[in-house]
Structure 1
Amino acid sequence: MNKMLKTFLREFTFRRQLTITMTLGILCLALFSSLVSSWQANQRVRRNLIEQGQHITENLARQSALALLYASPDNAAEAVSATLAFPGVVSVEIRDTGQRVLLVRGSTRPSEFPKSIVLVAGASAQAVLDAESEGAWRFVAPVYSQPSAASPFEVQEARTERLGDVVVVMSKAALSQMTSDIFIANMTSSFSFALLILILIRILTSRMSRPLNQLSASMARAEAGVSNVRAVLSGPKDIVDMAHAFNSMMAALEDRIAAVSHAELRIRHLAYNDPLTELPNRMQFMDLLNQTIDRARDKGQTFALLFLDLNRFKNVNDTLGHDVGDRLLIAAGLRIRHSVRAGDSVARFGGDEFTVLLEDLTSTTAGSVASQKICLALAAPFEIDGHDIYVSASIGISVYPADGMDGNTLLKHADSAMYLAKKNNSGYEFYESGMEATISAHVQMEGALRRAEERNELLVYYQPKVVLATGALSGMEALVRWKHPEFGMVSPARFIPLAEETGLIVSIGAWVLRTACNQAKVWADAGMPLAVAVNLSGVQLRQRNFVDSVRVVLAETGLDPALLELEITESVLMEQAKETLSSLHQLKEIGVQLAIDDFGTGYSSLSYLKRFPVDTLKIDRSFVSDVTSDPDDAALVTGIIALAHSLRLKVVAEGVETVEQRDFLVRCDCDYIQGYLLSQPVPPDEFERKILDAVRRAQ
């Protein structure tokens, strides 16, 4: 039964379930109502027929008195015939008091009733239901003598006497027929009424189920994946509430789906794009590169891969902070994007590295043109938070298919070319076979330089500086040297740019500063207070805590700040004028001397030069070497000395190697000289033995 009910609830719609249930219920109710009404009607008809039989029997009893009084059947024949004429009377019998039959009319089955009758006690003439069979009733009524009318001759009061009984048998056929007719009439009316109710229920269920069907259809569309599905708000309140709840659920679901879709798009965007510059990231670039290779292979085209690295970006991060560095990367990415065609692909490969795909090239010249545009775009200063930031680019170029047939090979070769461009400071380089060997040596050199400080391979040499007018020793310049156990003495021109490129210059410069201050303190304590000049790189100067580190070194070594001179190249000073001005003033407050190194090779602004708290200008050796043979160099040197003196600055001429050069500088009223004419840079023990001993002897 439970299984059938579950099947019924699962297989049929709500409307059909409701219709079937209501139909069965109303039919059962109509049938029950017909049965109850028919039974009640049957009982009423039965009572009426029994009362009718009793009346007929009583009437016959009154009319049979003479026949029994005179024992004459003929006197009762008419009354019997009249009685038999009543509908349903099937037999009549008249008996005397001795139960002898006086008259019998009609037909009855002898076995239908018992032979004996129940005699009515008392003097009442009322008929009684004596017996009842399946098909008939038997009524019995006593017969009494009737008193005659009053007579003048009667002398005594008349008196009644029981004369016998009459028996009337009535058929139940009328009862059955009437019951059947009533039942049929009841059934007809009940089922007609039920049909009317069913029609009304059908209409009502239709009106009720229509909103449910609409709601179900909306749910089906939603299940099928249709968006923006809404149910119609119609029908009874509870269905309207359900539809409203469905609409609210769909709205919430759509919001959730929209949020998930947005999140998926965001995740995909983050997976394939750089979150800082919004350019494609390394993963997406590799996909683009492989797709470009497939297209170029199918169409027989050529394309170029540019691998770009920002020079000095690490210095910006270290000195101005990562926030400025991030904004610099964003601005650089925009400039690179605007330097190439709209159809070319630009990506941030990682860190300060960018990659560019130049598709469908007719010649490799397009790679050179694009690289030049990028280098020029990045060479202009970036103004961020009031800082003019200068960076440059090193670009390596590999060409498909000449430099590789797959993405990894092209990237490797472009990276090798970029490495060489950075090493040569050439801006950009095309890949050539054999570059890997050069780069391998460069990488080997970098690894050795990283270990040099730990292995005590770095040395500080000293070159004397003298007063030109008197020849007196005024100080020395501290110069770093690298003695490699395998390579021997490595030229500063090789490892200093490498140190600046890798950031090692910070730790190397700090070590040189401390070593030079220690040595100057030793000589000062020995009675030779000589000023020591230490070169600073732009990377060091951009360090936020550089001034503090100088204070710490002076405090720990005990050197008088007036005996320390810091040399900053003209190009570094001018590129970072705004950033370094505050640091220079702080160094002056400490008491440190400041000098502009390699003066004349850069692009100094006289207004900036006036604002810088420097004490000395050092003329670059490239001008000094030809002062006796090149009138232009002689004029430049003369002008620099005059300009410096007009600004109350001292002048040091570097690279003085001949007596003629010295004499020219004497005539120009130069303050100090240093160079091979005096001495090459030498180790501290040799400097003390040759230079300081000579000074002592002269004293």
Structure 2
Amino acid sequence: DDRAPNSKRIEMPFCTDGYSLRFYSKAEGDSVEVNLTAAIARHQTDGDTVDDLLSNCTATLRTLKTIDRGKVNYISAGFDSRAARQEKLQVQDAIVKALADERFVLLYQPIYNLERERITHCECLVRMVTENGKLLSPAAFMDIAKNNGLMPRIDYLVLKMALRQLRDWADNNIHLKLSVNVTAVTFESERFVQQLQRLLYETGASGSQLIFEIVETEAINNLDSAKALCDRLAKLDIQIAFDDFGIGFTSFEYLRDLPVDFIKIDQSFIRYLYKRKSDQLLVKSMVDMALALGKKIVAEGVEDDGSADLLRDMGVHYLQGYYISRPKRVNEIDLNYSMPTL
């Protein structure tokens, strides 16, 4: 069949002589439905060898198990080829080795306090170091780490490095806070607080200098348990920042129900703020609501003085972005930075 992959046949049930390949059986009060699902790959288009064709079909069927059954499906142009899957396995292996060797480093992006007119904390941004010394951004490995259950290991390694840096600053009479990103799977783990307390004890860092950033788009699964965890962290003097605020449907529900200290307005609303009236109206509404609820506000993605001026006038407390500083290694941060007068 040489019909195009986007043929309507893709959406039709797999039929033989007019009957769908769904079988229903009822015996002795028990009922069972069996669905047969098919994947079709084209020689040369979707693989040149039998092994490639079977591998690609198997991967497609594995995906369809949780999506749609009882139909015939052509492999689409966007599917993961065998070569792409092998490449992901190589990246996964590289992540595991980097974890074993602790080949992850932190860069620090300063966050400017408009009221105090100085840098008061930094966000930790993780990079993976390859075996040949190249730095990889999270875009190169984070999704694969998430899909293979490796994020808790990365989260705890990042947390340990951040706490060591806090202790080092404290020993040198430098009073900066650090924001650390924590994925939902780690944040909601029953062992999270226990592991955190162990790391605080081992490093000698103070919880009062720590801010956890949680991301709505990571889909907090249980709002009640997340709220209880925030309360437990507050007892350790640890603050919570709600990251990527505004880009999800549940942002305002979380703002209402979670005892967070900061909201970080997503950079997609900030990057062109000076040029877009619609973004200005949206950001102003977010700021007004957050202020009414007593939250501190961080604007991410600030890249020009015009946007910085608008954000100050709106009542935003902190600015983060290339206008202030790019992410840097710890010894490159200008702790005495003062923003130009607006």
The TM-score range, normalised by the shorter chain, is 0.7 to 0.9
Q: Determine the C-alpha separation between the residues in 2 that align with 1:600 and 1:634.
A: 13
Question: Runs of 5+ in structure 2 lacking a partner?
Answer: 1-8, 11-18, 25-33, 65-72
- Change in Cα spacing, 1:410 to 1:345, as seen in structure 2 (3 Å) is farther
> More relative contact order in 1 or in 2 (CA 8 Å, sep 6+)?
2
- CA contact under 8 A between 2:182 and 2:212: conserved in structure 1? yes
| Post-superposition CA distance 1:43-101 (Å, at most 9, x none) | xxxxxxxxxxxxxxxxxxxxxxxxxxxxxxxxxxxxxxxxxxxxxxxxxxxxxxxxxxx
Offset at 1:647? 0.3
- CA contact under 8 A between 1:403 and 1:431: conserved in structure 2? no
Q: Which amino acid aligns with 1:532?
A: L
Q: Determine the C-alpha separation between the residues in 2 that align with 1:493 and 1:608.
A: 26
Question: Runs of 5+ in structure 1 lacking a partner?
Answer: 1-302, 305-340, 347-354, 360-396, 422-427
- CA contact under 8 A between 1:345 and 1:358: conserved in structure 2? no
The match for 1:545 is 191
Q: Determine the C-alpha separation between the residues in 1 that align with 2:35 and 2:304.
A: 52
Q: Which amino acid aligns with 1:577?
A: L
Offset at 1:456? 3.5
- CA contact under 8 A between 2:270 and 2:300: conserved in structure 1? yes
The match for 2:306 is 660
- Change in Cα spacing, 1:610 to 1:345, as seen in structure 2 (3 Å) is same
- CA contact under 8 A between 2:21 and 2:35: conserved in structure 1? no
- Change in Cα spacing, 1:531 to 1:420, as seen in structure 2 (3 Å) is farther
Give the secondary structure class of the aligned counterpart of 1:454. Answer: helix
Offset at 1:608? 4.1
- Change in Cα spacing, 1:412 to 1:551, as seen in structure 2 (3 Å) is same
Q: Determine the C-alpha separation between the residues in 2 that align with 1:684 and 1:398.
A: 53
Q: Find the partner of 1:358 among 29, 37, 60.
A: 37
The match for 2:13 is none
Q: Find the partner of 1:463 among 109, 130, 153.
A: 109
- CA contact under 8 A between 1:574 and 1:604: conserved in structure 2? no
The match for 1:161 is none
User: Are positions 1:430 and 2:67 aligned together?
Assistant: no
Q: Determine the C-alpha separation between the residues in 2 that align with 1:670 and 1:480.
A: 26
Q: Determine the C-alpha separation between the residues in 1 that align with 2:233 and 2:99.
A: 27
- CA contact under 8 A between 1:461 and 1:479: conserved in structure 2? yes
Q: What pairs with 1:166-177 in structure 2 (closer than 5 Å)? A: none
Q: Which amino acid aligns with 1:658?
A: D
Offset at 1:400? 7.8
Offset at 1:539? 1.4
Q: What pairs with 1:404-443 in structure 2 (closer than 5 Å)? A: 411-417=54-60, 430=75, 435-443=81-89
The match for 1:257 is none
Offset at 1:581? 2.2
Offset at 1:437? 2.2
Q: Determine the C-alpha separation between the residues in 2 that align with 1:343 and 1:405.
A: 29
Offset at 1:491? 2.3
The match for 2:230 is 584
How many residues are aligned here? 303
| Post-superposition CA distance 1:597-647 (Å, at most 9, x none) | 000011226454222110000001110001111111111111111111000
Q: Find the partner of 1:692 among 330, 335, 341.
A: 335
Q: Which amino acid aligns with 2:75?
A: F
User: Are positions 1:343 and 2:21 aligned together?
Assistant: yes
Structure of greater Rg: 1
Q: Determine the C-alpha separation between the residues in 2 that align with 1:456 and 1:525.
A: 24
Q: Which amino acid aligns with 2:335?
A: L
Q: Find the partner of 2:178 among 520, 529, 532.
A: 532
Q: Matched residues, percent identical?
A: 29
- Change in Cα spacing, 1:403 to 1:453, as seen in structure 2 (3 Å) is closer
Q: Determine the C-alpha separation between the residues in 2 that align with 1:434 and 1:575.
A: 28
| Post-superposition CA distance 1:257-313 (Å, at most 9, x none) | xxxxxxxxxxxxxxxxxxxxxxxxxxxxxxxxxxxxxxxxxxxxxx98xxxxxxxxx
- CA contact under 8 A between 2:126 and 2:137: conserved in structure 1? no
Offset at 1:342? 6.6
The match for 1:293 is none
- CA contact under 8 A between 1:567 and 1:596: conserved in structure 2? yes
Task: Compute the RMSD of aligned alpha carbons.
Answer: 3.3
TM-score by length of 2: 0.78
Q: Find the partner of 1:563 among 194, 200, 209.
A: 209
The match for 1:16 is none
The match for 2:69 is none
Q: Determine the C-alpha separation between the residues in 1 that align with 2:318 and 2:273.
A: 16
- CA contact under 8 A between 2:287 and 2:315: conserved in structure 1? yes
Give the secondary structure class of the aligned counterpart of 1:481. Answer: strand
Q: Determine the C-alpha separation between the residues in 1 that align with 2:157 and 2:284.
A: 36
The match for 2:70 is none
- CA contact under 8 A between 1:584 and 1:613: conserved in structure 2? yes
Q: Determine the C-alpha separation between the residues in 2 that align with 1:551 and 1:508.
A: 17
Offset at 1:411? 4.6
- CA contact under 8 A between 1:475 and 1:531: conserved in structure 2? yes
Q: Find the partner of 1:600 among 243, 246, 254.
A: 246
- CA contact under 8 A between 2:103 and 2:128: conserved in structure 1? yes
Q: Determine the C-alpha separation between the residues in 1 that align with 2:23 and 2:313.
A: 61
Q: Find the partner of 2:146 among 500, 505, 519.
A: 500
| Post-superposition CA distance 1:335-366 (Å, at most 9, x none) | xxxxxx973489xxxxxxxx96336xxxxxxx
Q: Which structure shows the bigger proportion of residues in helix conformation?
A: 1
Q: Determine the C-alpha separation between the residues in 1 that align with 2:47 and 2:337.
A: 64
Higher alpha-carbon deviation: 540-549 or 571-580: 571-580
The match for 2:163 is 517
Give the secondary structure class of the aligned counterpart of 1:598. Answer: strand
Q: Determine the C-alpha separation between the residues in 2 that align with 1:413 and 1:652.
A: 45
- Change in Cα spacing, 1:628 to 1:693, as seen in structure 2 (3 Å) is closer
Q: Determine the C-alpha separation between the residues in 2 that align with 1:429 and 1:586.
A: 50
Q: Determine the C-alpha separation between the residues in 2 that align with 1:436 and 1:407.
A: 12
- CA contact under 8 A between 1:474 and 1:530: conserved in structure 2? yes
The match for 1:75 is none
